[in-house]
Amino acid sequence: MVDISLSGAQHHVDSIQASCMAQVQRRRLYGGLTLLIFVVLMVSGFNVADDRNAGGFWDGLHQIGDYPADVLSEAWEKRADLPALIAKYFPALVETINIAAVSTLIGAIGGLFLSLLGTRGLAKWPRLIPLFRRISDIMRAVPEIVIALVLIFVLGGGPVPAMIAIAIHTAGALAKMFSEVSENTDLKAVEGLASTGATWSQRMLLGVLPQVAPNYVSYTLLRFEINIRASAILGFVGAGGLGYELRNAMAWGPGRFDEAAAIFILLFGTIIFFDQVSSRYRNRLTEGQGQ
Amino acid sequence: MTTIDLDATKFEAEKLFQRKRLIGFGFPAVIAVYFVYIFFAFDLPGLAGRANMENAVTLASDSWSHKVHVTRDNRSGEITYAVEGERKGRYPEGQRPDWVRGDEVITIDLGGDIIVRYLPDNRTEIEIPGFQPIEAQAEGRTVTTNLPDDLPDWISASNRRVGITTAEGRITLTGARTEVFNYFPGWELFWFTLDSPYYGQSLAKILFGDQIDPARGNITGAVSDWWNNAMWRHKDVAWAIGETILMAFLGTMGAAIIALPLGFLAAKRFSPLMLVRAATRRLFDFVRGVDALIWTVVLARAFGPGPLTGALAILITDTGTFGKIFSEALENVDQKQIEGVASTGAKPLQRYRFGVIPQIVPVLLAQILYFLESNTRSATIIGAITGGGIGLMLTQAIQTQKDWEEVAYYIVLIIAMVMFMDWFSGWLRGKLIGRKD
């Protein structure tokens, strides 16, 4: 009796081991196949991109340093002028930061409404939740450059098209992040307020916002970092600010590289500065929330 | 004693309330003041002057409609019919739209009882209901008309150029040319250009009808004519979208591959040397801080414009971002699992492979896939700067300032592309690491 049960167990272990090995093998096969497909995609994608590029990768590789070296050496030669140039482009920097700040503010306000109107349990009109979600999906999907270019055509160059374009994208992006937070809000406060006869806006302002404010502010700061980069890039296509000056300075070519260098320094410093400041505040805001 | 305590508490509470009230009103007030500052700093009052509403109207109407030009060259007397006035959209010899009649006298029926007649000797007659018949004579560089001095605002006239805008279409007369633009809704020639035998054929006829072009089968011929459509350039558009997605894919994945080992170097757990750690972190900060814009500019000098440059710009910037995220994830790994693997006698590399990697893979994949979607958008923008992908086509179409239907088409495609990538990365994430809820 003991023998039988033992050999049965033996048999059992064997079959378990066999099926385990089979499973491992299958997983290895799948893993290997996935890796193979991935490698093929990367290599062929690289080759296609290399083919369609004006200059080849291997030809250009040793030239990467040339342009920065030219810019830096010329800037070093004229290093005495650098502070003056930085002062000259400082207003453009302020414009870039202003574009980012205003569009983040407008986007955050828009995102706040979109997220509250698109969250189950909080929405003013529960039937319209899918509508507001689609609106924020579409606003999120539109790259800033699309709106910026169209608006530059209508409104002329300057900071306003960039501001509107970034604000629209920010509203969509923040609406998604905000609604992920507000889905987890405690509805008891809202119900309590509702029982006192509070209107929808009072319920949101007093019941929901205090709960979600730290996370919202944290996401908004993160977005501000991203938007500084975006507003610099949009400047490059004609929307004012530092990017616009950079394009002009680059169009001058050699001889004016010191100006390009000054703009590079300003942009680099600004991005690093706001990254550090915002990450410090974000850490403080989300501290003690399990993150 | 109780009274004193309560008083103190009440005082405290009132102070707190006051402070909250101050913040409650002060914060919006600061924002409002900032908006006022921006209102003047961005010169919003002057915006109305700079804004070109005519551009907005052209954009809005052209994006969903097309116009057919009927042009008379007043020197040779030759009349051409072309969609959007483009060579690619020109009607073949001997063909013309059915709202144009006559041989000696060309009668153009714009609809709504507006009739334009091209008469011999460069004369033109225009009939507009509710207005006197207009006669015009082009001579050399001037146009002579019988228009009165007192003109309605839809007619602009000088002795060089006469422009008439009606709800049905526009007419411009100059010494060199007489042109009529007839507007129609829809994107003309989207499927086939006029020189294709399949133009104007119904779908059913192409699929099931008799062979239209004797040289080719209906479906292959139709697909190839559509694919090589010179007006809408479907082939180039498809390639451009492919390039944009390729930039995002290569950049994101390449960055992840490079950032993973570097992430180990930057994590306290795995890199005991302070110097190495600090150096790697500063490197991450540096490549992130330089930003995709500057990388694009620098790389475009070395590699020339194209998708590879864009991909590399994304790759370099995101290496910094990924490195930061990965090293943070690596610092938060659970030591127990590594110890467990080590207790089986695993070597360091095996400990990483089986003790660490499985823990961080979900975080990594989630971030990579999120960035894949976000980089599709970045690639559109970088493409506009570095010259590759759909971003470039969009910029070019906007810069020519006339193909607004193409601009609308590209915008729709870009939004669809980003939404597709969003959906795709979400789907892939669901497949690989399970749904979030």
Tokens of B66: 């097309």
Distance from CA of B29 to the nearest CA of A (A): 13
Tokens of B97: 């739209």
Nearest to B108 by CA among B142, B88, B90, B81: B81
Q: What is the CB neighbour count within 10 angstroms for residue A115?
A: 27
> Which contiguous run of DSSP H or E holds residue A41?
helix A2-52
CA B392 to chain centre: 9
DSSP sequence for B92-145: PTT---TTEE-SSSEEEEEETTEEEEEETTTEEEEE-TTS--EEEEEETTEEEE
pLDDT band at A290 (very low <50, low <70, confident <90, very high): very low
Domain count, chain A: 2
Contact B380 A102 (CB under 8 A): no
Do A228 and A75 meet the contact criterion of CB atoms below 8 Å apart? Answer: no
- Asked if A124 and A206 sit in the same domain, the reply is yes
Q: A95-123 pLDDT, tens per residue?
A: 999 999 999 999 999 999 999 998 888 88
Do B168 and B110 meet the contact criterion of CB atoms below 8 Å apart? Answer: yes
- Asked if A112 and A256 sit in the same domain, the reply is yes
- Asked if A150 and A234 sit in the same domain, the reply is yes
User: How far is B426 from B47, CA to CA, in rounded Å?
Assistant: 41
Q: In A, residues 224-263, which contact B (CB 8 Å cutoff)?
A: 229, 232-234, 236-237, 243, 246, 250
- Asked if A32 and A93 sit in the same domain, the reply is no
- CA dihedral sign of residues A252, A258, A261, A263: negative
Mutate: best of A27, A154, A271, partner B, most B CBs <10 A: A154
The amino acid that residue A29 corresponds to is L
Work out whether strand B161-165 and strand B169-174 pair parallel, antiparallel, or are unpaired: antiparallel
Answer yes or no: is pLDDT of B282 > 80.
yes
Contact list in B for residue A275 (CB cut-off 8 A) is: 285, 288-289
Mean pLDDT value of segment B408-420: 90
Answer yes or no: is pLDDT of B141 > 70.
yes
Nearest to B420 by CA among B381, B366, B372: B372
Nearest to B91 by CA among B12, B223, B221, B196: B196
Flag whether A61 is in a domain: no
Q: A232-252 pLDDT, tens per residue?
A: 888 888 778 888 888 888 877
Q: Compare A252 and B347 and report the one with higher pLDDT.
A: B347
> Which contiguous run of DSSP H or E holds residue B177?
strand B177-185
Give the structural domain span for A104.
74-286
Give the structural domain span for B146.
65-185
Can you give the CATH number for the domain in which B399 is found? Answer: 1.10.3720.10
What number is the ipTM of this complex? 0.84
Determine phi and psi for B162, rounding to 5 degrees. Answer: -125, 130
Flag whether B38 is in a domain: yes
- CA dihedral sign of residues B421, B423, B426, B428: negative
Can you give the CATH number for the domain in which A190 is found? Answer: 1.10.3720.10
Tokens of B47: 């915006």
Answer yes or no: is pLDDT of B69 > 70.
yes
R_g (Cα) of chain A, nearest Å? 28
Tokens of B306: 């194209």
Task: Look at residues B185, B205, B221 and tell me which one is the last residue of a structural domain.
Answer: B185
Lowest mean pLDDT among A186-190, B77-81, B202-206, B330-334: B202-206
Average pLDDT, chain A: 85
Do A285 and A214 meet the contact criterion of CB atoms below 8 Å apart? Answer: yes
User: How far is A291 from A35, CA to CA, in rounded Å?
Assistant: 33
Q: What is the CB neighbour count within 10 angstroms for residue A284?
A: 11
- Asked if A26 and A150 sit in the same domain, the reply is no
pLDDT band at A8 (very low <50, low <70, confident <90, very high): low
Answer yes or no: is pLDDT of A14 > 90.
no
Contact list in B for residue A236 (CB cut-off 8 A) is: 293, 385
Tokens of B154: 């839809």
- Asked if A196 and A80 sit in the same domain, the reply is yes
- Asked if B103 and B248 sit in the same domain, the reply is no
Cross-strand partners of B156? B163
Distance from CA of B226 to the nearest CA of A (A): 23
Do A231 and A99 meet the contact criterion of CB atoms below 8 Å apart? Answer: yes
User: How far is B231 from B228, CA to CA, in rounded Å?
Assistant: 9
The answer to whether B316 faces chain A, any CB pair under 8 Å, is no
Flag whether A8 is in a domain: yes
Flag whether A227 is in a domain: yes
Answer yes or no: is pLDDT of B389 > 80.
yes
User: How far is A76 from A109, CA to CA, in rounded Å?
Assistant: 45
Mean pLDDT value of segment A221-235: 90
In this predicted structure, what is the pLDDT of residue B254? 93
Contact A149 B395 (CB under 8 A): yes
Mutate: best of B303, B315, B353, partner A, most A CBs <10 A: B303
Answer yes or no: is pLDDT of B272 > 70.
yes
- Asked if A36 and A82 sit in the same domain, the reply is no
Tokens of A42: 């990367």
Lowest mean pLDDT among A22-31, A67-76, B203-212, B330-339: B203-212
Do A287 and A216 meet the contact criterion of CB atoms below 8 Å apart? Answer: no
Flag whether B392 is in a domain: yes
Flag whether A291 is in a domain: no
The answer to whether B297 faces chain A, any CB pair under 8 Å, is yes
Flag whether B216 is in a domain: no
Flag whether A216 is in a domain: yes
Flag whether A236 is in a domain: yes
Q: Compare B112 and A231 and report the one with higher pLDDT.
A: A231
Mutate: best of A153, A244, A276, partner B, most B CBs <10 A: A153
Contact B385 A271 (CB under 8 A): no
Flag whether A260 is in a domain: yes
Q: In B, residues 12-41, which contact A (CB 8 Å cutoff)?
A: 31, 34-35, 38, 41
Q: What is the CB neighbour count within 10 angstroms for residue A81?
A: 14
Flag whether B169 is in a domain: yes
Contact list in A for residue B36 (CB cut-off 8 A) is: none
Q: A133-142 pLDDT, tens per residue?
A: 999 988 988 8
Tokens of A182: 């507000």
Contact list in B for residue A161 (CB cut-off 8 A) is: none
Flag whether B100 is in a domain: yes
pTM: predicted TM-score of the whole model, two decimal places: 0.82
Cross-strand partners of B66? B184
Mean pLDDT value of segment B308-331: 90
Flag whether B193 is in a domain: no
Answer yes or no: is pLDDT of B200 > 80.
no
- Asked if B241 and B101 sit in the same domain, the reply is no
Tokens of B330: 């690596």
Average pLDDT, chain B: 83
Mean pLDDT value of segment B21-29: 85
- Sorted by sequence, the CB contacts under 8 Å of residue A274 that are 6+ apart come out as A224, A225, A228
- Asked if A240 and A277 sit in the same domain, the reply is yes
Cβ-defined contacts of A73-79 (< 8 Å, 24+): A74/A254, A74/A255, A74/A257, A74/A258, A74/A261, A75/A257, A75/A258, A75/A261, A75/A262, A77/A258, A78/A258
In this predicted structure, what is the pLDDT of residue A291? 39
Tokens of A113: 């409404």
CA atoms within 13 A on the CB side of A138: 9
- Asked if B287 and B385 sit in the same domain, the reply is yes
User: How far is B129 from A226, CA to CA, in rounded Å?
Assistant: 57
Work out whether strand B177-185 and strand B65-73 pair parallel, antiparallel, or are unpaired: antiparallel
In this predicted structure, what is the pLDDT of residue B297? 85
User: How far is A290 from A287, CA to CA, in rounded Å?
Assistant: 7
- Asked if A38 and A93 sit in the same domain, the reply is no
Determine phi and psi for B392, rounding to 5 degrees. Answer: -65, -45
Answer yes or no: is pLDDT of B274 > 50.
yes
Do B230 and B192 meet the contact criterion of CB atoms below 8 Å apart? Answer: no
Burial letters B401-435, b for 16+ CB under 10 A, else e: eebbbbbbbbbebbbebbbebbeebeeebeeeeee
Compare CB distances from B411 to A54, A146, A153 and report the shortest one's residue.
A146
In this predicted structure, what is the pLDDT of residue A7? 54
Domain count, chain B: 3
Flag whether B208 is in a domain: no
In this predicted structure, what is the pLDDT of residue B1? 52
In this predicted structure, what is the pLDDT of residue B3? 59
- Asked if B412 and B264 sit in the same domain, the reply is yes
Flag whether B211 is in a domain: no
Helices (H) and strands (E) in chain A, counts: 12, 0
The amino acid that residue B211 corresponds to is Q
Flag whether A60 is in a domain: no
Contact A267 B293 (CB under 8 A): yes
- Asked if B329 and B254 sit in the same domain, the reply is yes
Determine phi and psi for B107, rounding to 5 degrees. Answer: -105, 120
Mutate: best of A146, A275, A280, partner B, most B CBs <10 A: A146
Tokens of B164: 């008439």
